[in-house]
Structure 1
């Protein structure tokens, strides 16, 4: 889905909304109350500004229990950059990429990615959980019965049976929400698992898929999942919308 540029420019034109984005860049995943304290404004005013940012897809929100957390979503800005900058400014693009990496290093180790897919919640759920489908766009088979408390494994699709990621199903509400823990079975014994949440929302003929990967061990892990999820979800989107994965695996591109 292409960003609504009128909404993006309108959202960025207001200094208060730019300040909100700056606050989320520095400390991603804040509640409305936390943002209000930083801005010294009423909850009603902050809610109105956040509604404009969410309408422009510059901010996404995820519920955690009784709290609603707000996250900076860089996708519309990235798509604007792809449209007007990348074709003409390759040297400057490399510099911007370096700035982006430094900005990501300043964030706490959690990552949120939002994408819109022309599909149904049931098809997106199947794409996330069916081992035959995940093998097509991810190169791995996601194997589990997807019942809370069950083991799940991210097994190589080459027939070796090697699991590069293992974990536990924390929450499973098909076709709306899936929460799993992640850890490296070949990593250190004292590692703490990270946590990935998939929220699937229907908007007429479009599905909004929000992936939240949190409890990452360090900034390197944050950098790895940032690029990894963008590549995997682009391939998933292509498969569901066209019936084919991308001509080249995105994670293999230079």
Structure 2
């Protein structure tokens, strides 16, 4: 938490977060446009925000997009605010909600987690049918080559896929991009969303960034906002402890 408070203590860094709150997913040039400061100085401030996990980045071609990550703010709310002033102080909680709702044409959800593992093991956990069945309740089935079909298949023996799509990019063990659509809407381009897994080594741990974009509406955004953290918590537990959580986290009642 020390890094989070240090990051928030600076006015320029707060303004950068405000800018991402207004319009999430900006390049360095777009962020510099409203800050009277050199690109080098803004880059240094962004590095502090990234170190505090308040900002996450995603590569798209030659561009590097910056996203506000509301998770540390939510943790501050739960630890220091909700305990004592829950009825009256909702500022950080409201900021988190607005940050997640700061969308462009279609909603985008970004989630960052850190796992004590290797990029290769994280990649396998995302693509191996048996491993995904263990922590996700579905098997991800494909040969994982760019252009191939993939399916999110139930583990009840029915063979039914609840999600299907195409592998857009496949760069083991660092980056996987897939399209997502319900089987009955396959072929309708406006119904597809897109999920990107960015896997980065950070010393002895791995930083996994999941970006789910082109969501159809706010209802879908609300679903993935609760679904991805639950699934990735189970993945993290499996890789770090050798077993999944004692209760499927997506079945936990909302607080």
* Cα displacement string for residues 56-112 of structure 1 (whole angstroms, at most 9, x for unaligned residues): 111111111111110111122223334334556666699976774455334331111
**Counterpart check, 1:78 vs 2:78:** no
Match for residue 202 of structure 1? 201
Equivalent pair of 2:100/2:109 in contact (CA under 8 Å)? no
User: CA–CA distance in 1 between the matches of 2:220 and 2:4?
Assistant: 30
C-alpha RMSD over aligned residues: 2.2
TM-score, normalised via structure 2 length: 0.90
Output aligned runs, 1:4-153, within 5 Å.
5-85=1-81, 100-101=96-97, 103-108=99-104, 109-153=107-151
* Cα displacement string for residues 187-240 of structure 1 (whole angstroms, at most 9, x for unaligned residues): 486343111111111122201111111121222222211111111101110111
Runs of 4+ in structure 1 over 6 Å off: 92-96
| Distance of aligned partners of 1:238 and 1:94 in 2 relative to their CA distance in 1, 3 Å threshold | farther
**Counterpart check, 1:180 vs 2:184:** no
- DSSP-derived class of the 1:167 partner: strand
**Consecutive unaligned residues in structure 1, runs of 5 or more:** none
TM-score, normalised via structure 1 length: 0.90
Equivalent pair of 2:7/2:49 in contact (CA under 8 Å)? yes
Equivalent pair of 1:164/1:184 in contact (CA under 8 Å)? yes
Equivalent pair of 1:201/1:208 in contact (CA under 8 Å)? yes
CA shift for structure 1 position 182: 0.5
Question: Among residues 165, 168, 188, which one is paired with 2:166 in the alignment?
Answer: 168
User: CA–CA distance in 2 between the matches of 1:244 and 1:26?
Assistant: 40
Residue-pair matches, total: 250
CA shift for structure 1 position 250: 1.3
**Counterpart check, 1:219 vs 2:215:** no
User: CA–CA distance in 2 between the matches of 1:188 and 1:136?
Assistant: 27
CA shift for structure 1 position 143: 0.3
**Counterpart check, 1:253 vs 2:249:** no
* Cα displacement string for residues 7-34 of structure 1 (whole angstroms, at most 9, x for unaligned residues): 1111101111111111111211000110
Mean Cα deviation higher: 104-113 or 89-98:
89-98
